[in-house]
Chains A and B, each alone.
Chain A
């Protein structure tokens, strides 16, 4: 059929010439290519010991932030759980007692705050939804584990370390 677009290209398959039929010249060429990689720096790294630099918009493990006085910012409004497309976040709210003012910034706080790291897709919508700037995905890669239950991270793993007094 005649080509309408003029883009058709018929590839010509020529029979192999003598050098190609002998294989040896091309084999030598191939061998020199592979050996040139032998002493090159590996493209891979020893991962758990060495970690590559993350990009600035990297989203890793979540952390629940504290304010300047070391109080937890989260007020358990539930917007993060609501915005989460994977439904990975659950929480139980509680009311702040009078003697807990140094622990929680708002009068309502999250008594239990759990993120299922197997469900989380690290989209960052929780961080966008949060009105209190309490959650950020600024942590490292979530480590692997053996049991499903160990992937449900509670406040013990998520909340930032408290401010130390001597600072």
Chain B
């Protein structure tokens, strides 16, 4: 370990952090624009050209708002909640391999903050930690609607984490490794995991919708039943943090889906491209393609939100426990039989 190692990681972390926040910022703008286009409207177009400065205006508004902490709230936890939500959302990107190694002045720089050999489990852990921010915030508000919403969020996350974990097991049977770097490297060119695990991918995707509290599973924020959901009592930038964390979660989920099932930075014809340009340029093209996939997924998240109405709570639980979990188990069995036959 040398000084360059620290500098290189520091720079990478800073860039990742900035990119996460930037993408989350413009996701709020994109969400409103996509909603508008899907509904034959124009969307925000006043702040800057095409409304491009809208997120900044929203941010300034959030900061300028009066900050209210309810008298009977648990002040300490009330403040911890949004911070935790934000923290858990931000650290998820640490294990994602963003591209092939760069060669800067003879030094190999991997575009990944850390390649821990249990990367998939790490992602899992971080994603399930995310619900604590919601739970703590909802509980500390001392408001029955917030609490109900926090309970909903917790039970929803637990239910869908089971199916998510089971769908990942089938994927791990195929990949034989938990390291995200190796999982991506295996998907060279066209060998994307989605082709081997289509059912697993659908289950995983449905679960990530539930984990990020996005429509049609946005029951914790169900306005008609729960006022504002777990952030009913929040105002000013604390509310902003919650809303922001949701968008970062969406970004992380899209990243994980693109990494695990859609080949990360791999794309068809990458070997040919690598022969045409310098290795560094080829790696950066791969990273660009990776972000393209991520943006596609983010768009899909929004597209679904403006199409499907919210599930009823019993429907949500039915789908999770009676639909997705048996399907995921069947998926594991089929995958297992297939692998056993192939290796026979």
User: In the bound complex, do residue B307 and residue A31 qualify as a contact, i.e. CB atoms below 8 Å apart?
Assistant: yes
Q: Mark A1-34, 1 if CB is under 8 A from B, else 0.
A: 0000000000000000000000110010011011
B38 to A, closest residue via Cβ: A34
- Among A24, A31, A34, max chain B CB count under 10 A is at A34
Instruction: Contact check, A35 vs B303: say whether CB atoms are below 8 A apart.
Output: yes
- Whole-angstrom distance between the alpha carbons of A42 and B39 in the complex? 8
**In the assembled complex, which residues on chain A have CB atoms less than 8 Å from the CB atom of B42?**
42, 44-46
CB distance from B321 to the nearest CB of A (A): 14
CB neighbors of A among B69-114 (8 A): none
Q: Inside 8 A of A44's CB, which chain B residues have their CB?
A: 40-42
| Residue ID in chain A nearest B36 by CB atoms | A42
Restricting to B29-75, which residues have a CB under 8 Å from any CB of A?
Answer: 36-42, 45
Q: Are A37 and B38 in contact (CB under 8 A)?
A: yes
Q: How far is the CA of A31 from the CA of B306 in the complex (A)?
A: 9
Query: B304 on the interface (CB 8 Å rule)?
Result: yes
Contact indicator A37/B40 (Cβ below 8 Å): yes
- Does B307 lie within 8 Å of A40, measured CB to CB? no
A54 CB within 8 Å of chain B: no
Interchain CB contact under 8 A, B40 and A30: no
Is A38's beta carbon under 8 Å from chain B? yes
Q: Report the nearest A residue to B300, measured CB to CB.
A: A31
Query: Is B308's CB under 8 angstroms from A38's CB?
Result: no
With A27-B308, A30-B307, A30-B308: A35-B38 Cβ-Cβ less than 8 Å: yes
User: Once the chains bind, are A34 and B45 in contact (CB under 8 Å)?
Assistant: no
A98: CB under 8 A from chain B? no
Measured in the bound complex, the distance between the Cα atoms of B45 and A44 in whole Å is: 12
Decide if A43 is an interface residue (CB 8 Å cutoff): yes
One of B36, B41, B307 near A34 (C-beta < 8 A): B307
Residues from chain A with Cβ under 8 Å of B304 in the complex: 27, 31
Residue of B nearest to A35 (CB): B303
Q: Which residue of B lies closest to A33 (CB)?
A: B307
A37 near B308: Cβ-Cβ < 8 Å: no
Question: Is the beta-carbon distance between B307 and A43 smaller than 8 angstroms?
Answer: no
A38's partner among B38, B202, B319 (CB-CB below 8 A) is: B38
CA A81 to CA B257, docked complex, whole Å: 70
Instruction: Give residues of chain B (204-261) contacting chain A, Cβ–Cβ below 8 Å.
Output: none
* Residue in chain A with minimal CB distance to B35: A34
Residues of A close to B36: CB separation below 8 A: 42
Query: A23 to B206, alpha carbons, bound, how many Å?
Result: 11
Interface residues of B in 295-341 (CB under 8 A from A): 303-304, 306-308, 319
Residues of B within 8 A of A46 (CB): 42, 45
Let me know if A37 and B307 touch, CB within 8 A: no
Cα-based distance from A155 to B42 in the complex (angstroms) = 38
Q: Residues of A contacting B37 with CB < 8 Å?
A: 37-39, 42
CB 8 Å contact bits of B115-133 with A (1 = contact, 0 = none):
0000000000000000000
A41 to B42 CA separation, bound complex (whole angstroms)? 9
Q: How far is the CB of A42 from chain B (nearest CB, A)?
A: 5
Chain A residues in 8 Å Cβ range of B202: 24
Query: Please, which residues of chain B bring their CB within 8 A of the CB of A34?
Result: 38, 303, 306-307
Across-interface contacts of B303 in A (CB, < 8 A): 31, 34-35
Q: Which residues of B contact A39 (CB under 8 A)?
A: 37
Cα–Cα distance between A69 and B306 once the two chains are bound (Å):
60
Which chain B positions have C-beta within 8 A of A31? Answer: 303-304, 307
Contacts of A40 in B (CB 8 A): 40
Residues of A within 8 A of B45 (CB): 46
Shortest CB distance A32–B (Å): 9
Q: Which residue of A lies closest to B315 (CB)?
A: A23
Which residues from B are CB-within-8-Å of A24? Answer: 202
Task: Give every chain B residue within 8 A of A27 (Cβ-Cβ).
Answer: 304, 307-308
Name the CB-closest residue of B to A28: B307
Contacts of B40 in A (CB 8 A): 37, 40-44
Q: List 27 A-B contacts (CB under 8 A).
A: A27-B307, A27-B308, A30-B307, A30-B308, A31-B303, A31-B307, A33-B307, A34-B303, A34-B306, A34-B307, A35-B38, A35-B303, A37-B38, A37-B39, A37-B40, A38-B38, A40-B40, A41-B40, A42-B37, A42-B41, A43-B40, A44-B40, A44-B41, A44-B42, A45-B42, A46-B42, A46-B45
Binding site for A on B (CB under 8 A): 36-42, 45, 202, 303-304, 306-308, 319
Closest A-B pairs by Cβ, 6 of them: A43-B40, A34-B307, A30-B307, A34-B38, A42-B42, A44-B41
Given contacts A34-B307, A41-B40, 9 further A-B contacts (CB under 8 A): A23-B319, A27-B307, A31-B304, A31-B307, A33-B307, A44-B40, A44-B41, A45-B42, A46-B42
